[in-house]
Amino acid sequence: MIQQAPHVGLFATCLVDLMRPTVGFAAAKLLEDAGCRVDVPMDQTCCGQPAYNSGDTGEARAIAKHVIAAFEGFDYVVAPSGSCAGTLRVHYPQLLKDDAAWAARAEALAQKTHELFSFLTDVLNWMGGEARYDATATYHDSCSGLRELGIKQQPRTLLAGVEGLELKESREAEACCGFGGLFCVKYPDISERIVDVKTADLEATGADTLLGGDLGCLMNIAGRLKRQGSAVKVRHAAEVLAGMTGEVPPLGEGKNDGAED
Amino acid sequence: MEATTRQFTGNARQALKNDNLRAALDKLSHGFPYKRLEAAARLPEFEALRDQSRDIKAHVLENLDFYLQQFESKVIEQGGQVHWAKDAAEARDIILAICQEAGAETVTKSKSMIGEEIAINGHLEANGVRPVETDLGEYIIQLRKEPPSHLIAPAIHLSMDQVADTFKDKHREFAADRPLDQPRELLEEARTMLRREFLAADVGLTGANLLIAETGSIALVTNEGNADLTLTLPNTHIAIASIEKAVPTLEDATTILRVLARSATGQELSVYTTFVSGPKRPDDMDGPENFHVVLLDNGRTQMLGSEFHDMLRCIRCGACLNSCPVYGAIGGHAYGWVYSGPMGSVLMPGILGLEQTGDLPNASTLCGTCESVCPMRIPLPAMLRRWREQQHARRLTSTKSRMMLKLWAMLARRPGLYRAVMGLGVGFMRALAGGRGSLKSLPFAGGWTAVRDLPAPEGKTFTALWKERRK
C-alpha cells in the first residue's frame, strides 16, 4: 500500500509531445484529479517502437535502457497510449531478457507501467471526475491496447460519466485502422484501404465524434476523414475526460480551415 | 508456380484496383470472422481446446522424429508405402514415378496446399499425366490457370459471374445459352464434369490434414466429399503432407479437428471428415490397392528449433487470413506465392528465403488480430518482427531507411538535441499550416500525405510547454 499520493512519471509519448501537447496536460490533470503526484521527466523522447518494429533491436535496446533509467524512480509510469505503454510493459522485458544488468530493471519497469485509462480505473479505482462534452461519439479500440493490454471497457467506463456524451458502439470498433507506425508510410495504398473500412464503419454509426486512446491511430483516422471531406470530429478521449476540449480544436481542424492552400 | 513475392508492392497496387476482388474480400471479412466468433461462443471449452491443440503440436515438434517413424512403420504394417522428400523436386519425382508405374493418364486431386507448394500439376502435365482438381474452388482456378488466393477458399477472389464466364468458355459441350447465374447451376455443371473424371482416374492424389502416428492414418477434411471420391475410386491413392502434420493419437486428432473448422468457417466440423488407414483390405468393399504417403520437408527441419519453430504448429485453417486487415485489402495473390496472409508472411521467407520475400514481414500493421484468432496460438506478429530483425541484421533493408533510423535513434537517446531538432520541426509544420488544422502535403512525408491529411501540430512540444507552465 502506498501511503502518500502515488508518484507518477508521465510518459507523454513522442506523438503527444510533438503533435498534441493538450493530451499530455489532460493526462496530467486526470492523474492529479485521481490523487497522484505527476512529474514529466525531461529525459523522455520515444519508447523506441520505430526501431523495434523495423528490426533494429540494437537501437531498440539502447532506447529501452534510456527510458528505464529515466522512469524507474517513480511509483508508476503512465502513458496516454496503449501502444507505447505496451512497448514498456510487454516488449522491454523481452528485449532485455538476456541482458544480466538490465533484465530485472526492465521487468520492474514493466510491472509499474500502465496505459492511462486502465491505470485510472483498474489501479486507482477512480471512476472519473466532472466533465461535459456534447457529442454522439464512437470509440476506436487501438490494437496494442486492446490485444496486448486488454483495454476495452476502461475508457468506456470513464466516458460514461461525461455529461452530454452519448457513446455508440461501431461494428468494427476493434478493427485495425491501418496506421501501424511506419507501415502507413511504407504501404500508403494498403493503409488507405484499411482506414477506409474504419471511416465507413464509424460514419455508419451516425456518430459525430470519434474518440480513442492512441494518437497515432487517431491522426491516421482524422487525416483520412479530412481527406474524405468528412465532418466527423476526432479527439483523444483524455481531452474529453479532462474537460479540456475548449483548449484545442478536434484533430486536424483549425480556425482557418476552408481557406485555399 | 513462379514466385512474385519480390513484386509485392506492385501486386498489391494491382489488387487494390480490382473491384471484383474488393467485393469478394468484403464478403469474406464480413463472413468467416463472425461465424468463427459465433462458433467459439457456442463451445464453452473452445479456449481450452486451443490451449490443448497448441500443446499437442508443441509436443509433436519436440518429438517429431519419433512420431514420424511411428507413423511410417504403422503405414507399412498396413500395406502402405512411405516416401521421404527433402524438397519440392524430390516430391514431384516421387509422385510422378508412382503415377507412371500405375500407367496413369488421369490423376484426380483433392485440395492440397502441399500440392501447390511443390507445383505438382505442372510437373505431371509436362510428363503426360493429366491432373484434375476436384475441389470446386480448385477446379475453377485450374480452368482459369490461376493459383489459389486463400488456404481454404482458393477461388475466393472470383465473383459468380466470373465463374459462369469461365464455365461457358471451357465447357463447350453444353448449350451456349444455358442459364448459369445460380450457384446450384454452376455446381451441377461442375459435378457433371467431375463425375466422369472421378470414374476415369487412375490415381487419386490428396493432401492430409493430420498424420496420426499411433494408427498410421491420415485425416482429411472437406466440405464437398471430393477427397473421398478421389481416394476410393482409383486403384492408387497418394497422400502428400508436410512433416509437421503429425499428431500422436486419434484422440489428439479429434482435439485439433474441434478447433480447425470452427476457426476456419465457424462450422463445428467440416461436412466430411475421413480417416484413411492403408490400402484396401481383403474384406473391404472398395478402396485403392496401393496406398502411398509422401512426406515433405522443404525447409521444415530448418525451421525446427529455430526462432520460427512455433510456425510449424499451423494447421492451415485460414483464420489469420480471414481477419487480417492487410489480407482483407489485397487478397491472397498479391503475396506472390502459394501462401498468403500472416501465416504466409511468416512461412514463405522460411521456404523461399528472405531475399525473395522482403516485403512480406513488413506489410503488416502488427495489429495482433491474427494471433488472437489462431487456434494454435502462434505468435505471428512476434515472428514477423523476427524476420524484420533478420532483414536488418543481414542488411537486406535499404541504405536510406537504415540511415534515417540511425539518425532518429541517435536523437532519441539525446533528449536535449532531440528536443531542439523536433521543436524546430514542429514549429516549421505549424508555420506551414498557418491557421489551418491540417496539411495536404509535406516535404519528406509523401507516404503519409498521399492518402490522408496530416493533422498539424499544436505548435510547441508538450515537454517545452510543461517546463514553461509547471516549473
Domain ranges (residues) in chain A: 7-122, 131-247
Q: What is the DSSP letter of A211?
A: E
Name residue B289's amino acid.
Answer: E
Q: Where in chain B is the domain with CATH 3.40.50.10420?
A: 31-298
Q: What is the DSSP letter of B281?
A: -
Residue range B21-40, pLDDT digits in tens:
999 999 999 999 999 999 99
Residue range B445-457, pLDDT digits in tens:
889 999 999 999 9
A1 pLDDT more than 70: no
Cβ contact B455–A252 (<8 Å):
yes
Residue range B244-286, pLDDT digits in tens:
999 999 999 999 999 999 999 999 999 999 999 999 999 998 8
Q: How confident is the model at residue A256 (pLDDT cuts 50, 70, 90)?
A: confident
CA distance B406 to B120: 46
- To test the contact with chain B by mutation, choose from A10, A14, A17 the residue with the greatest count of B C-beta atoms within 10 A, namely A17
- Which residue shows C-alpha cell 533491436? A57
Inter-chain Cβ pairs, chain A and chain B, closer than 8 A: 227
Q: What is the pLDDT of residue A93?
A: 98
CA distance A120 to A152: 13
**In this structure, what are the phi and psi dihedrals at residue B431, rounded to the nearest 5 degrees?**
-65, -40
Contacts B364 to A, Cβ<8 Å: 180, 183
Q: What is the mean pLDDT of chain A?
A: 96
| Cell numbers standing for residue B428 | 516549421
Domain B31-298, CATH class in plain words: alpha beta
Picking from B223, B224, B209, the residue whose alpha carbon sits closest to that of residue B276 is B209
Q: What is the pLDDT of residue B230?
A: 97
Name residue B227's amino acid.
Answer: A
Cβ contact B16–A50 (<8 Å):
no
Cβ contact B367–A176 (<8 Å):
yes
Q: What is the pLDDT of residue A261?
A: 47
Q: What is the mean pLDDT of chain B?
A: 96
Q: Does domain A131-247 have CATH number 1.20.1630.10?
A: no
Query: What ipTM did this prediction achieve?
Result: 0.96
A208 pLDDT more than 50: yes
Pairing of strands A132-140, A163-167: parallel
Residue B159 burial class via C-beta count within 10 angstroms: exposed 0-12, middle 13-18, buried 19 and up: middle
Strand ranges for B313-420 from DSSP E: none
Q: What is the pLDDT of residue B471?
A: 60
| % of chain A with per-residue pLDDT over 90 | 94
Topology, domain A7-122? Rossmann fold (3.40.50)
Cβ contact B445–A185 (<8 Å):
yes
Q: What is the pLDDT of residue B73?
A: 98
Residue range B222-252, pLDDT digits in tens:
999 999 999 999 999 999 999 999 999 999 9
Cβ contact B415–A42 (<8 Å):
yes
A229: left (phi over 0), alpha (psi -120 to 50) or beta: left
Closest residue on chain B to A38 (Cα): B470
Same fold, A7-122 and A131-247: yes
Residue range B84-120, pLDDT digits in tens:
999 999 999 999 999 999 999 999 999 999 999 999 9
Residue A147 distance to chain B (closest CA, Å): 7
Q: How many Cβ atoms sit within 10 Å of the Cβ of residue B422?
A: 21
